[in-house]
Amino acid sequence: MTTGYKTISFTLTNGIGHVVLNQPPGNAMTVGFFSEFNRLVDDLKTMKELKAIVISGSGRHYSSGAELDGLIGLVNNEEMRYEGNEEMLIMNSRSFLFLEETEIPVISAIRGVCIGSAFELALFSHFRFCGEDAVFGLPETTFNLMPGIGGISRMAARCGSAKAIELVLKGSTFGAEEALKYQLVDRIVPKRRVVEFALAFAAKIKEDYRKQKTPLYIQKIHSDDLQLN
Amino acid sequence: MTEDKYTERVNKEGIGILTLKNPPQNYLMEPEFISRQVLDEWIRADELKGLVIAGAGRHFSGGARLEDIFSMAEAEAPMEVEMEKGKNLLSCIRELNIPVIAAINGVCFGGGLEIALACHIRFCTENALFAFPESNHGLMPGLGGTVMLGERLPFPESLKMILGGDMINAEEALSMKIVDSIIKASDPVDYSLGFLKKITEGRSLIIIHYVMQALKNAKELPPEDALKEETRMFAELARQEAKNRSRRPEV
């Protein structure tokens, strides 16, 4: 069991690792969160019994994303070398990339807000289920910044680059139905059951996924197992 | 407004409109339908935030005329040189670091469709028609159409369209994802212009460039390198923003 985290809680049950972003109310991704998250990913890499990962937020929200002031402060810290600070940001994206490249299924269960870096994290998951109350967006450009942890490319891979250009430059938020229409989420589930649904889905596909992670297989679970009730 | 040989260029409040102007069908008289250098310099000098490519009048473009292709083939200068110039122009459009919309009405055939496919976003009106008719005349698409269509479509669909030479309408083009959206407005240029204004409003040129660059990197670089580049661009913006904030009085 992995313990000692302040901003994340992690439990491993029957091979399913449940990562809960845990800084209520908004589960903001602070600099402290990212350093714990990177440590957690290193731990995950060593867990032989891990067969699926579910990511959700504590309480009513997935996460409101990175604390922009913290990040701006980090890259602007004159006392630290710029390269060193960028190195920390690069580590964050490496952790996200691990989740995408791992052989086991990674599922994001999304309630409430899922904005900025939090949406980027969700986009690196293999599956996204959300409640009808979910709110998505990459609003970075409205703060004179840009999404910095792979969100632009991952969004384009799902919804096509034309839609991604629009959503990223505009930076506005949108709801569950729109996210489904743009193929940015796989299914809308009643919000109180999102986590439960994701855990059940993880249990159902965990054995097969590792063995036959082929496009055809993924297509099949999208059409069959997503109908799971 | 600037008129080149077969095109016209207008800067509308920071968004460029490049019109193919050889009505009625806006045939492309040469593969490099506008000088690549002229286009590049215009975008840079005017600090354009977006570009709309459209056809004058009721059609986008019917592509090249058969007789022009055959006379080019018989000319002394090797045809490949001209074709290469056209292809370079299209890759220049693809690589532009501002969003480029093809605003399509009427026919969008052959070389016209290749221009549209080189754009980042394709909007069309309900009456738009698309085809690669080259194979009906013993030819094949010559400005990268086989590659660009192949990137968007599953192999069988792409083969059917290129080898079959069939014409498809706006609805079919949308369901095949050749176009991104069918617009109800009668003037696709106005609509596209409004769209670009809306998404670039309040965005600095550097942010637009970086977002477009990140999309390009995702296609061209290994994942880890693309992510590193994105972080580098993000950090640069963040540093700039920190400077701006320290200059701005606290509210």
C-alpha dihedral, B228 to B234 to B239 to B240, nearest 10°: 140
A19-43 mean pLDDT: 94
Q: Could you tell me which residue, A10 or A75, shows the higher pLDDT?
A: A10
Q: Is pLDDT of A224 > 90?
A: no
DSSP strand pairing (A187-189 vs B168-169):
unpaired
**Is A93 close to B228, i.e. CB distance below 8 A?**
yes
Using pLDDT thresholds of 50, 70 and 90, give the confidence band for residue A2. Answer: low
- For B102, the token pair is 């093809």
With a cut of 90, say whether residue A144 has pLDDT above it. yes
> Inter-chain contact B230–A93, Cβ cutoff 8 Å?
yes
The model's pLDDT over B138-193, given as tens digits with 9 standing for 90+, comes to 999 999 999 999 999 999 999 999 999 999 999 999 999 999 999 998 899 999 99
- Name the CA dihedral angle for B110, B58, B199, A151, rounded to a multiple of 10 degrees: -20
Please check whether residue A121 is in contact with residue B203, taking contact to mean a CB–CB distance below 8 angstroms: no
> What residues of B act catalytically?
114, 134
Side-chain-side CA neighbours of residue A169 (13 Å): 32
Please name every residue paired with A107 in a beta bridge, in sequence order, or none if there are none.
A54, A127
Q: Which of B97, B148, B196, B199 to mutate to test the interface with A (most CBs of A within 10 A)?
A: B199
Distance CA B34, CA B31 (A): 9
**A217 pLDDT above the threshold of 80:** no
Q: Is A121 on the interface with B (CB under 8 A)?
A: no
Q: Could you say which of B180, B215, B239 has the minimum Cβ distance to residue A76? A: B239
**Does the ipTM exceed 0.95?**
no
- Closest approach of B19 to chain A, Cα-based (Å): 21
More confident residue, A4 or A95: A95
Query: Among the listed ranges A9-23, A200-214, B227-241, which one has the minimum average pLDDT value?
Result: A200-214
pLDDT, tens digit, for every residue of B41-82? 999 999 999 999 999 999 999 999 989 899 888 888 888 999
* Angle, CA of A167, B173 and B20, to the nearest 5°: 80
Q: Which pLDDT score, from 0 to 100, does residue A67 have?
A: 81
pLDDT at A229: 47
The answer to whether the beta carbons of residues B129 and B152 sit under 8 Å apart is no
Identify the CATH class of A8-227. Answer: alpha beta
Residue B52 carries which side chain, given as an amino acid letter?
Answer: V
Q: Which pLDDT score, from 0 to 100, does residue A76 have? A: 67
Per the rule left: phi > 0, alpha: psi between -120 and 50, beta: everything else, A33 is alpha
For residue B49, give the 3-state DSSP assignment. coil
**Strand (E) or helix (H) holding B101:** strand B100-104
pLDDT band, very low/low/confident/very high, at A211 (cuts 50, 70, 90)? low
**Which residue is closest to A164 within chain B, CA to CA?**
B215
User: What is the rounded average pLDDT for all residues in chain B?
Assistant: 94
Distance from CA of B155 to the nearest CA of A (A): 16
pLDDT for position B78:
86
pLDDT at residue B201 is higher than 90: yes
**Tens of pLDDT along B204-227?**
999 999 999 999 999 999 999 999
Establish if A145 touches chain B: CB-CB under 8 angstroms: yes
Q: For residue B250, what pLDDT is reported?
A: 54
Option in B180, B224, B238 nearest A71 (CB): B238
pLDDT at A110: 98
pLDDT over threshold 80, residue A70: no
Give me the residue from A145, A146, A156 closest to B218, CB to CB: A156
Give me the mean pLDDT over the A129-146 stretch: 96
User: CB under 8 Å to B97, separation ≥6 — which residues?
Assistant: B208, B209, B212, B213, B216
Rounded distance between C-alpha atoms, residue A86 and residue B75, angstroms: 56
Distance between B61 CA and the closest CA of chain A, angstroms = 22
Q: Which of A182, A171, A202, A10 is nearest to A108 (CA)?
A: A202
Tokens matching residue B189: 């240029």
Residue with the larger pLDDT of the pair A74 and B189? B189
In A83-134, at which residue ranges do the beta strands (DSSP E only) sit?
A: 106-110, 113-115, 127-131
pTM of the model: 0.91
C-alpha span between B247 and B104 (Å, rounded)? 45
A202 interfaces chain B, CB cutoff of 8 Å: no
